[in-house]
Amino acid sequence: MLFRHARLCYKNGSLSRERVRDEHFGGSWESFNASFDTSSAPAAGIQGQVTVFSFDKPEILPSGVSGVHVFRDGAYLAGGEADLTAEERASLARRVVESQFMSFRKRVTGILKDGGQLRRIFVAGGGSVKYGLDACIMLRGGLVLIS
């Protein structure tokens, strides 16, 4: 059996989660995790969907991108996180983790060949210990879903 794997390296994983923790959850991982656990995953077709791409330092993948980019229902919010409602800011723990996995999925689909499917994700590094990641990642039909 042939095993294929890809390793992707990101600079901003922990940096972005730590910034969100510090700015929106009083520096507490407990508050960050509680927010993650109580925030719902986005559902297709529901108004008010928020997506956050957070690159606190110039990123390795995608090369050189930086800044915090916030979208609501696909529309860019020029004021970033400041343009979010209090309820939307309360869900930032989940949104920052989701965006990291969306980026991972985007990058790995370009690596897969011959209709290959993403079957497993191994998360390593300091952020893999908990911070909302344990028991929250599922793969369905090659899609990364955080439930």
Total count of domains within the chain: 1
18 falls within a domain: yes
7 falls within a domain: no
- Please report where in the chains the tokens 């960050």 appear, as a residue: 32
- Report pTM: 0.77
124 falls within a domain: yes
Mean per-residue pLDDT, 38-44: 75
63 falls within a domain: yes
Rounded CA separation 106/47 (Å): 24
Q: What is the pLDDT of residue 112?
A: 74
Q: What is the pLDDT of residue 134?
A: 45
Least confident of 20-29, 48-57, 77-86: 48-57
Mean per-residue pLDDT, 124-132: 57
86 falls within a domain: yes
6 falls within a domain: no
Domain span holding position 45: 12-146
Q: Residues 6 or more apart from 50 whose CB is under 8 A from it?
A: 42, 70, 71, 72, 84, 88, 91, 95
